[in-house]
Every structure is written in C-alpha cells, then in structure tokens.
Amino acid sequence: MNISISGTGRAVPTSIQKNSDFLSHHFLDEKGEPFANSNEEIIEKFSSITGIEERRYAPDEINSSDLASEAAAKAIKDAGIDQESIDYIIVAHNFGNTPAGSSQSMALPSIASIVKTNLNIINPNCVAYDLIFGCPGWIEGVVQAKAFIKAGMANKCLVIGTETLSRVVDNADRDSMIFADGAGATIIEKKEDGGAILSHKSVTYTANNEIDILNFEQSNDPADKLSYIKMKGRKVYEFALLNVPQAMKACMDASGVPIENLKKIFIHQANMKMDEAIVKRFFRLYKHAAPEQVLPMNIQKFGNSSVATVPTLYDQVLKNDLENHSLEKGDVVLFASVGAGMNINAITYRV
C-alpha cells in the first residue's frame, strides 16, 4: 500500500503587482538611509537576480484562510474523496490571517479550523491544526501526514500551504518585492495503485545564528514603529547553497532511486538564481550535470508565496499548466525547501 498524493489544488489571486508598481516606493537601507541607486536601477537588479517580473496579491477582502479553503476544495474534488473521510487537516503558514491594512496576525482560531469550517466538514474526528515551519511548511506537513498514515492513525490527510505575505512587507525595504500571496493544497492517502512517498529528510540549523537570517523586525523607515518580515538576502543565499544540496542528496539516497531517474525538482520558489545554483550543486554531488527541464519555475509570474510555492508549482505541472513541463505516472520527483528556522526539508516521490 502506497502513501500517495491523490489530489492537488491551488488558489492564486488574480491581482497582479508588476515590478513597475514599485517605482514610487521610497526604499531605505537597514540604517534608514536612502540608496544611491535610482528605483529603476534597484528594480532592474532585483529582477535579474530573482527572476521575478510580477507577483500576485490577494484583494483586501480575501485572507490566508480563504485562499487555503479554495485550494483545499479543488484538491478534494481532484482526489474524488468524501471530505468527511479526512482525518487530519494540516495547514502550514507563517503569519496566519492578517487583515488588509494591518501587519498583526490573527493567530486564533487556527487557519486549519477555519478551513474545516469553510468546507463544512462535520466529522469531529477530523483533527485540524496549524504548522509553523517557515517556507518548508507544506513539505513538513506532508511528512507528518505520511507518519500519521504509516502509524495507522489516519487514512486521509489534507495538507495546505497558504500565505498573504503582501500584508506583512515593509514598503521601505527593497526585499518586499520578492513576496507574494497564494495557496496550494494536497490530499495524502493510502492507495494501492497511486504514487508513493519514497523518502524524506528534514533538518533545522540554529547553532551559528541562523535563527536571525529570516525573522520579524522593525521597518527600515525609522518613523514606522511596526515590524515586518525581514530577510538577510546574502546570508540566505550562502546558507542555502551550502546546506540545501546536502539535504536533497540525503533524501535522494534514502529513496534508492538512481539520480539518472530523477525527472523533476520542485524547489521552493525563493530566488531564481539561488534555486538554479542549488540544483546545479545538487547534481554536482553526483558528478552529473543538471538535465535540461529538470527545474520547473513559476516565480517569474507568481513571486515568492512561501509555503504555497511548492504545492502550487506541482499542481501546475501535474495539470499541464506550465509550459515545457509535464509528468507521467511512474516519474520520480524531488520536493525541496528552505526557510526560517533555519529549516530545510525534502521528499522523494514517485508519481
């Protein structure tokens, strides 16, 4: 009996925020000083590094739980299951429901409970909880779902990654251009003829001040006393290149699948150049060159929606909605992510 991803769904806001929309921003450095470069130069360099041309923002009336519920409903329909048969709803996020115009997260009740309510699931034995694991949250949710099923504690789990990062970005911080909103959902269940989770690997680094690489800090604007998501971009890049390929290799090796049989890598859509460098280093560990078309990407149009990026991208490719990328039954793929914690994880999966 395999533990399979039997259904997928995504919720991507329709409102597009282009790079040109940031031309009027008043960007400041960490000391609150303006940059010598013009906004045009800042945005051009940003685009060349991250690959981001535009991103999606949720409208004011839509929150993380709404996006999660939409993606979940699609995944349930895709799997063809009775939603009352779901044993666990696991929702990964970083900031919960954050009302438009506020950077304060509404931590109660949990998004998972709100999703269960929105889906009108009556069964009290369907347990709903939230998972905070940084950008790798959806992958870690799948790892937990696998553990529940393998232990005989569940037959079906709904795992969701959702975020409205546009609500918690500092408009004075040029890194704010990276972040976006969205949700991706999956049904994980036992199936005789379905795909199979082959292996996983999760690690957390805190010994060398990694805890400060991604966090919540005061605005770059001294007049703004609120706190926002903050990222030390260069340190993230260096940390990821050093540690993510190793975790991916540990996961791949545990699967027993030869590297030549790996069809796709679905990696957290954080930064195009960083992701390409990670994948190149990963294959170098096997003394291989990275194959063409091994790395699907949607960051160009969707931006970085944190926990939502991997399930959203996987749903796109499964449903032939991403040009030049497709999957067939039996293909082996690798999911991987890195984020605040600092956490890294990976899953090897046979479609």
What would the pLDDT profile of 194-225 be if each residue is shown by its tens digit?
899 999 999 999 998 888 888 887 878 888 88
**pLDDT at residue 106, rounded to an integer:** 82
Domain limits, the chain: 2-193, 198-350
Q: What is the pLDDT of residues 323-341, one digit of tens each?
A: 899 999 999 999 999 999 8
Evaluate if residue 227 carries a pLDDT over 90.
no
Pull the structure tokens for residue 125. Answer: 């034995």
pLDDT tens digit sequence for 29-55: 888 888 889 889 999 999 999 999 999
- 3-state class of 242 per DSSP? helix
Q: What is the pLDDT of residue 281?
A: 97
- pLDDT tier at 233, thresholds 50, 70, 90: confident
Place of tokens 């997260």: 105
pLDDT band at 155 (very low <50, low <70, confident <90, very high): very high
Q: CA 309, CA 93: separation in Å to the nearest integer? A: 11
- Report the pLDDT value the prediction gives residue 309, as an integer from 0 to 100: 97
* pLDDT mean across residues, the chain: 93
**What pLDDT is stored for residue 345 in this prediction?**
98
For the chain, strand residue ranges (E) read 2-11, 15-18, 54-57, 88-92, 127-131, 156-164, 181-191, 196-204, 214-218, 227-231, 262-267, 332-339, 343-350
Q: What is the mean pLDDT of residues 176-204?
A: 95
Does pTM surpass 0.85? yes
DSSP states of 54-105 as a string?
EEEE--TT--HHHHHHHHHHHHHHHHT--GGG--EEEEE-SS-B--TT----
Portion of the chain with pLDDT greater than 90, in percent: 77
Domain 2-193, second-level architecture: 3-Layer(aba) Sandwich (3.40)
Cα–Cα–Cα angle for 239, 233, 39, nearest 5°? 160
Query: For residues 87 and 148, what is the distance between their CA atoms, to the nearest angstrom?
Result: 9
Q: Which CATH class is domain 198-350?
A: alpha beta
**CA pair distance 251, 150, nearest whole angstrom:** 18
Looking at the predicted structure, is the pLDDT value of residue 275 above 80? Answer: yes
Range 180-198 average pLDDT: 94
Joined together, the tokens standing for residue 149 give: 């099923």
- 42-46, 91-95, 223-227, 254-258: which range is least confident on average? 223-227
The 10s digit of each residue's pLDDT in 123-145 is: 999 999 999 999 999 999 999 99
Residue 173: C-alpha distances to residues 168, 248, 350 (Å): 11, 31, 40
Q: Residue 265's closest CA among 248, 253, 281? A: 248
| Strand 54-57 versus strand 15-18 pairing type | antiparallel
Q: What gap in Å lies between CA 230 and CA 232, rounded to an integer? A: 7
**Distance between CA 249 and CA 240 in Å, rounded?**
14
Q: In whole angstroms, what separates CA 213 from the centre of its chain?
A: 17
Where does the pLDDT of residue 103 fall: very low under 50, low under 70, confident under 90, or very high at 90 and above? low
Predicted pLDDT at 208: 85
